[in-house]
Amino acid sequence: MDITASRVVDVTRVVRAAAANALADFRATYTWYSWTFGWLGRMLCQVTFFALIGSFLHSAEQTRYLVLGNSVATCVIEAMTVVVSTSWERAHGTLALLAAAPSEMGWVFVGRSLQWPVSGCGTSLVALLVLDPLFGVHFAAAQVPVLVLLVVLTAFGTYGFGLFLGAFVLAAPAVRNIVYNAAFLVTMAISGVQVPTGYWPFGVRLVAEALPATHGLAAVRALADGASPAAITRPALYAAVTGVLWLTAALTAFRLSAQRARRHDGYEFAV
């Protein structure tokens, strides 16, 4: 086996072991009914809350825009939870051990919080396929596989962005909830969830272009509007590319953070 192949096997093994941890964490947090009636119910209420603003504005078009945007945003919110769960390793006191282990720490964190984008995809798809028709947004059966793919792209692209933020929150776990809330709310504001990105000034639009959610959502909107395959594929590709770039940035940030922590003993226990 050459060096590259052996490295891929190593990375897969690390991510798989960390993902088993993620699954155990998820099962300890939720039961099927607390996820369904607690989390999912709450997120559907959030989507309805924003959709009703459209009704309040007496605009069917606005209602449709808001319900679709906020349904996709549910997977963004959930995938971004990685910002919070990454810092849990410090509260558990396991970070120093991870820093001492021979495998690259970034890949551990890639697997460590996979429960969130997976659960987020479930939440988004329920919102899109069950709640949205009540507000006039319908997807044909033939569109569903593409819709699933686009939601997965959006959730995992955002997960890369969240991981990048998580690498910094490791150094300051006390602000994890602030960073998490700010990150998903800024995304919800500028990425075309509530208003078209064109509403914002040029600088803000530029930031929005760097977010996978902006492109993932644009692709879902194009699909819902029955646009041509090219009009759906282009933003989907942008979502994939920005997602990969954020993941690369996150792995680099974890690598640099681990190097710095090893030198300065920076990974002590912290709640």
Partner 1 sequence: MSPTLFWQVFRLQVVMTLRTPDTLHVFVTAPLYTTLFLAITEHADRRDLAGFAVLAPVLMSLWSMALMAGGELIGHERERGTLEAVVATPARYSSVIAARIAAVTLLSTLSLAEAWLVAWAGFGILVTIAHPALFLLGLLLTAAAMAGTAACVSALFVLAPSARILQNTLSFPFFLLGGVLVPVDYLPHWLQPASKAVFLSWSARVLRAAVSPGPSHGTTGALLAVVLLGLAGFAAGTLLIDRILRRVRVTGTLARM
- Rule CB under 8 A: choose which of 10, 11, 26, 39 binds partner 1: 39
Indicate left, alpha or beta for 265 from its phi (over 0: left) and psi (-120 to 50: alpha).
left
207 binds partner 1 (CB under 8 A): no
The CA-atom distances, in angstroms, between 176 and each of 88, 166, 258 are 10, 8, 18
Evaluate whether 119 touches 35 at the Cβ level (below 8 Å): yes
- Tokens 């282990």: give the residue: 101
The piece of 37-45, 101-109, 124-132, 228-236 that touches partner 1 (CB under 8 A) is 37-45
168 binds partner 1 (CB under 8 A): no
**Closer CB to partner 1, 12 or 59, in the complex:** 59
Tokens representing 181? 């809330």
The piece of 6-14, 57-65, 95-103, 215-223 that touches partner 1 (CB under 8 A) is 57-65
60 binds partner 1 (CB under 8 A): no
188 binds partner 1 (CB under 8 A): yes
55 binds partner 1 (CB under 8 A): yes
- Rule CB under 8 A: choose which of 100, 199, 237, 269 binds partner 1: 199
Size of the site for partner 1 (CB under 8 A): 35
Buried/exposed 219-256: b ≥16 CB within 10 Å, e otherwise = bbbbbbeeeeeebbebbbebbbebbebbbeebbebbee
Sign of CA dihedral 63, 64, 69, 74: positive
- Rule CB under 8 A: choose which of 10, 19, 26, 48 binds partner 1: 48
245 binds partner 1 (CB under 8 A): no
Evaluate whether 197 touches 191 at the Cβ level (below 8 Å): yes
* Beta carbons within 10 angstroms of residue 175's beta carbon: 14
- Chain residues in the site for partner 1 (CB under 8 A): 29-30, 34, 38-39, 41-43, 45-46, 48-49, 52-53, 55-57, 59, 62, 66, 174-178, 181-182, 185-186, 188-189, 194-196, 199
